[in-house]
Amino acid sequence: MKTLRRVTRLLLFLGHVLWGVLLTAIFAGVLRMSVTQPFYQGLVQAWLRRLTRIMGVRVKVSGTPASAGALLVANHITWLDIPLLGGVLPVRFLSKQEVRHWPVVGWLAVKAGTLFITRGKAGAAAAATATMTDALQGGATVLLFPEGTTTTGNDVLPFHARLFAPAINLDIPVQPIVLRYPSVNGLTQPLIPYVDDQALWDNLWGVLGESECAAEIHFLPPLIITGLDRKGLATLCETNIRQRIEKSSKV
């Protein structure tokens, strides 16, 4: 039964990716639309939403997303986080530079308005700050994963404070988001985290075999950042997200 489910979903998944390539080629290539246009934003959202359904993800959302022009920060568990969040609201993600060069996926990410950071390179944080600032000033909602990597979802790694500079400089709302993929014991469903040296294909194959996967998006209240520096803001976001994860895991 699992094998049949995996093969069926994989075919749907690949077909959906090809459909995304076609749509992007038409609307972003031929018609020259960009992610700043509401119709194109809606198209991207709908495509990402459909992708999560194909993967068998059942999404529960609590709280209200901040208005446009805000900085959103979330814990990071797996590649599924991106279609999950991108299917709920129009948002521009900050991603590692390597993604830009991935076959097909990198091109789709660029056309969807993804912002990139070159990790480990001198001046990378400053360049990312400038890119994020431009997007935020243009009215976009920007989302980053300040842990800088994925985790099991049962705890939170320290947040990188430098990435919070645009929010301090522009004095804009900052909203923490908690992502969870809970199993029956309240902890993260063990097949979901994309961590350590696991290959992307192995993670995808594991998720494809599950009959259903529960996912939760908790939009926490936007923070008052007056008087905070970027380190203080990063710590406050990290603390709020960690506390919510600990509370939810005990339910």
Element containing residue 10 per DSSP (H, E): helix 2-24
Distant-in-sequence, close-in-space partners of 200: CB < 8 Å, separation ≥ 6: 79, 194
- 182 pairs with which residues across the strands? 188
DSSP H or E segment with residue 127: helix 124-137
3-state secondary structure (DSSP) of residue 148: coil
Can you give the pLDDT at residue 249? 74
Compute the distance between CA of residue 149 and CA of residue 238 in angstroms, rounded to an integer: 14
pLDDT band at 185 (very low <50, low <70, confident <90, very high): confident
Tokens of 27: 């609307």
The pLDDT tens digits for 191-245 are 999 998 899 999 999 999 998 899 999 999 999 898 999 999 999 999 999 999 9
User: Percent of the chain scored above 90 by pLDDT?
Assistant: 84
Tokens of 167: 């929010």
CA dist., res. 132 & res. 142, Å (int): 7
Residue 226 · residue 174 · CB < 8 Å: no
* Extents of the domains making up the chain: 2-249
Class for the domain spanning 2-249 = alpha beta
Mean pLDDT, rounded, for 12-34: 97
The average confidence (pLDDT) of the chain is 94
Statement: residue 250 has pLDDT above 70: no
Mean pLDDT (whole number) for 91-99: 93
How high is the pLDDT of residue 119?
A: 76
